Amino acid sequence: MRKEQLLNIYEDNGLYGAKDQNGQIVITAQYTEMYQFSCGLSLVRNSQYQYAYIDYDNNIVIPFGVYSWCEPRFVCGYARVLKDKWGIINTRGDLIIPLKYDNIWALNEEYLCSIKAYDGTQETSINLLKLTSNNMLLDGLTYIATYSVNDFKELSNCSHVYIKKDIETNQLFFTYGTNIGAVAINSIPKEPMFSIVSNSNGKIFVLLTEKCDVGKTSFPPSSIEINDDSNKKGKKLASNYHKTSFWDYENEKMNDYDNWSDPFGDERAFYDGWSREDVESGLADAYE
């Protein structure tokens, strides 16, 4: 049973909080309105009539007063919000659909590929499936199974895993065969683990993390900024190929790659085709 199904809203002197199945107070009564948790969040309202979303530990995820109205429940990880115009957010608070519509119809799990919206009198259709098909949100994670590198490669019938960067979003991902997985590391991992997870959107995918991070329910986007002091010639050459490496991190001596045991199969695989000599010379200069 999901945790949100184990919490009950209770009222005390006109204020609302949450109790567990044993009647123990989890969130003290402090809100003028509180709705049942959905996708890990609950919509609450304070005495100033401002709305916010909180998590199970009463941490404010989406602050009070950001929107004048908010959807009481998330649907597959999405909710409508209003501030002069209508938009749609995810459980991290990111605006998936910007605040530009005069009206957006209620979200329905069956019709997330064709949500009616209006800009003035002009009717349009929002396809959340298409807009978020490659977006593996690292929030509200539930772990289904976890594997070591060797076990995962055997399971997926692949001999190598390739770490890459999306040149449009600057976010890291990995490929194994013809499949794509999410990355929650910012450097060469010391103890890499692969987990099959589902997120607050209900998407199931493979996540690469450090062993010590297995079980975490939320991660910030993984990306590495380009070092402006890096070799410009190498950067220019690398930009023609969109190759990836951890050269910036190695320049800052954040990883002792000489002692790295290369759990992914070989160094060339991890450097996405570049040799260590290319990395050291600057030819494969960071994330271009």
pLDDT category, 234, cuts 50, 70, 90?
very low
Nearest to 202 by CA among 101, 107, 133, 255: 133
Closest CA to 149 of 264, 260, 257: 264
Ranking 66-70, 76-80, 199-203, 209-213 by mean pLDDT, the lowest is 199-203
Query: How is domain 3-131 classified at the CATH fold level?
Result: Lipocalin (2.40.128)
pLDDT in tens, 216-228: 999 987 655 444 4
Query: How confident is the model over 200-211, as a mean pLDDT?
Result: 90
pLDDT in tens, 93-144: 999 999 999 999 999 888 888 899 999 999 999 988 777 766 688 988 999 9
Residue 4, pLDDT score: 64
238 vs 288, more confident = 288
User: What is the model's pLDDT at position 3?
Assistant: 66
* Beta pairing partners, 176: 179
Position 277 scores a pLDDT of 52
What does the pLDDT read at residue 162? 83
**Could you give the maximum distance between any two Cα atoms of the chain, in Å?**
70
Q: Are 1 and 18 in contact (CB under 8 A)?
A: no
Distance CA 80, CA 72 (A): 9
Q: What end-to-end distance do the CA atoms of the chain give, in Å?
A: 45
The DSSP 8-state label assigned to residue 267 in this structure reads H
CA 62 to the chain's CA centroid: 15
Q: What is the DSSP string of 113-153?
A: TSEEEEETTEEEEE-HHHHTTT----BS-EEEEEEEHHHHH
Helices (H), 27-133: 128-131
Would you place residue 244 in the very low, low, confident or very high pLDDT band (cuts 50, 70, 90)?
very low
For residue 165, pLDDT over 60 is answered with yes
| Predicted pLDDT at 243 | 37
Residue-averaged pLDDT of the chain: 78
Q: What pLDDT is stored for residue 247 in this prediction? A: 35
pLDDT > 70 in the chain, percent:
73
In the chain, where the domains are located: 3-131, 142-213, 232-281
Mean pLDDT of 204-213: 94
The answer on pLDDT for 249 being more than 80 is: no
Mean pLDDT of 167-193: 82
pLDDT-derived band at 231, boundaries 50, 70, 90: very low
Question: Does 83 have pLDDT greater than 60?
Answer: yes
**Low-confidence winner among 5-9, 46-50, 168-172, 270-274 (lowest mean pLDDT):** 270-274
| 172 against 68, higher pLDDT | 68
- Report pLDDT for 126: 93
Which two structure tokens, joined as six digits, stand for 127?
């396809």
pLDDT reported for residue 235: 36
At residue 171, the pLDDT reads: 77
According to the model, what pLDDT value does residue 170 have?
74
